[in-house]
């Protein structure tokens, strides 16, 4: 999705990137570093013992499917923008937003499943980690929903189309990152529970 332009500078050719895309990649790298650190801390704390074993929330399966579908609808929105199909662009962006809200509702229902098993944020560190992982991901998803809303509004204002793709490219890249991050978290927590 990212196209670098060649800019002549004397006899040297310099590659450039849209500044907002560059900022988005820096943000993604910082988020990755946070989750890698948390994953490492999780493994270290689990090795210390006294680890609460609990049944993994069933709703995590549903939310995983929902986030994969939302990634597909986001990609379809991007393709619609490239083809100047503004109606489909708006439909797919709206659908992606609804799926994202569904994902967050599913996460809350997952937390309810944990509470019924007496797994709380405070108490055993195993419970704390699952709430931190899912809550932090949910917080980043809320930011993605806000950005998605901005792109949707701009799609209705005819500011997102084949000659103006930067905004939807940035949004789609971040959205796919969030989907991939959730799948990583889900598998990591499932395999290390």
- Which residue is associated with the tokens 């991050």? 181
Judge residue 48's burial from the number of C-beta atoms within 10 Å of its C-beta, 0-12 exposed, 13-18 middle, 19 or more buried. Answer: exposed
Mean pLDDT computed over 110-131: 93
Cα 174–Cα 186–Cα 74 angle in degrees, nearest 5: 30
Give the model confidence (pLDDT) of 1-51 as tens digits: 445 555 555 566 667 778 889 999 999 999 999 999 999 999 999 999 888
Residue 159's CATH number = 1.20.120.80
* Size of the chain in residues: 193
Q: Which domain holds residue 169?
A: 5-191
Stated pTM of the model: 0.88
Q: Number of structural domains, the chain?
A: 1
Model confidence at 192, pLDDT cuts 50, 70, 90, reads confident
Question: What pLDDT, on a 0 to 100 scale, did the predictor assign at position 1?
Answer: 47
């Amino acid at each position: 999705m990212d196209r670098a332009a060649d800019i002549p500078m004397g006899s040297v050719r310099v590659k450039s990137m849209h500044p907002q895309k560059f900022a988005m990649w820096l943000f993604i790298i910082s988020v990755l570093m946070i989750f890698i650190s948390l994953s490492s801390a999780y493994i270290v704390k689990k090795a210390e013992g006294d680890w609460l074993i609990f049944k993994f929330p069933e709703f995590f399966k549903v939310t995983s499917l929902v986030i994969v579908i939302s990634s597909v609808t986001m990609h379809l929105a991007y393709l619609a923008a490239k083809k100047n199909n503004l109606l489909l662009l708006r439909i797919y962006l709206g659908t992606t937003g609804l799926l994202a809200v569904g994902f967050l509702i599913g996460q809350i229902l997952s937390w309810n499943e944990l509470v019924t098993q007496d797994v709380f944020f405070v108490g055993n560190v195993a419970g704390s980690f699952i709430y931190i992982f899912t809550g932090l991901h949910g917080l980043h998803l809320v930011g993605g929903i806000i950005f998605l809303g901005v792109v949707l509004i701009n799609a209705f204002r005819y500011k997102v189309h084949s000659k103006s793709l930067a905004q939807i490219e940035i949004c789609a890249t971040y959205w796919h990152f969030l989907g991939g991050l959730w799948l990583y978290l889900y598998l990591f927590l499932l395999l290390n529970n």
